[in-house]
Each structure stands twice: as structure tokens, then as C-alpha cells.
Amino acid sequence: MRKIIFYLSIAISYSGVSQTDTIIRPYIVDEVCITTEEYKLYELVMEYRKKYKLANIPLSKALCHVARIHTEDLEINLQELSHAWSICEYNNSNQETYYCMWDKPKELTSYNATGYEIAHGGVGGYIATAESSLNGWQHSKPHNNVILNKDIWRDDKWNAIGIGIYGGFATIWFGEKKDEDGKPKICD
């Protein structure tokens, strides 16, 4: 894990983003927690899946950590809705940049599998809530498909989920591998 943090520090140094601007902090398993608003979003998503006879997805400490870090990075550094991070570029039309999203759980935590993100948000004083986030994803076919395992996601079985809300942004991270670190506690 120390190697990962060290390499991220090097990458940050060479990416043109100052380390004081980055939000990436170490993954400390026993300190991961989610807010009541993040837990509310988790519950809303599980209720929504239940309507379609889909199983609950266990909350993941690792994916919650990644989700929170990314929402903070979006709010503070990027200030736009994106799957990019301040330490790597993502371009929806360039498959070579997909690793920027897919590999983040492996880079930032002990979760040694690919992660898939859906993101919601806005700037200019916009505040993301559990309700506004789920509503936005329900009205976006590609995002709704991820939540409900439809279309290209129909053969995937989500065994871990992470929720993050910060300022104007919300993200959900999905993973097929169970998170051995367990579920986060509620921190407020």
C-alpha cells in the first residue's frame, strides 16, 4: 500500500497538479465511514433495485473510499462532471484512458479488482443530494443500465458498491468482487 501512495505522489508531482490541490489520502480501513446522506443514497439505490427484483449489493469500505475521494476531487480540483481525476485523464471516446476510472480501486485501496463508476453533479452552487443523484441516473439510460444490470451490464453481478457525495457531486462505484474489508460505518 505504501508503494501505491508513493507512486501516486510521484504521478501527482509530474502531472502538473500540486500535491496541495489533490484530495487523495491513504486508505485506512478502520477509518472509512460514510455520511448519513451517502447512506440514504445507498438505501434509495437498493430500494430501486428491489423494484426490479435485483439483489442488494453489499456496501464496500474500499469503494466508498474511492467514491468519496473522487467526489472531493471533482468538487475541488476538476470543477466539472467527469470520470477523470486530477491525476489522470479520461476521455469517453478514447478507450486507452478508461484505466483512469477502472483501475482507481486497485490504485487507492486493497480492492484488487476493476471498479465501474457512475457520476452525477454540477457546479455554480449546485449541491448533490441522494434524491437528485438517483433521479439523474434514473433518467440517463447508460447510468440506469449500470444500476439495474441491463444491456451491456446484464451478465455482471455486483458484489460491492461504494457511495460518495461531496458538494455538487455524487458517485457510485460498482465492483464484481466482494470487498474483504467489509462495510463502512456511518460517520455523522
Say how far apart CA 87 and CA 108 lie, in whole Å: 12
pLDDT tens sequence across 102-117: 999 999 999 999 999 9
| Structure confidence at residue 28 as a pLDDT band (50, 70, 90) | very high
Task: Give the per-residue pLDDT at 6.
Answer: 27
Whether domain 2-186 has CATH 3.40.33.10: the reply is yes
Q: Give me the helix-helix angle, 36-51 and 130-138, nearest 10°.
A: 30
pLDDT tens sequence across 62-105: 999 999 999 999 999 999 999 989 888 998 899 998 988 899 99
How many CB atoms neighbour CB 138 within 10 A?
15
Asked if residue 154 has pLDDT above 50, the reply is yes
* Beta strand extents in the chain (DSSP E only): 33-34, 116-121, 160-166, 169-175, 185-186
Q: Domain boundaries in the chain?
A: 2-186
Select from 188, 171, 166 the least CA-distant residue to 133: 171
Secondary structure class of 121 (helix, strand, coil): strand
Q: Give me the helix-helix angle, 61-73 and 36-51, nearest 10°.
A: 110
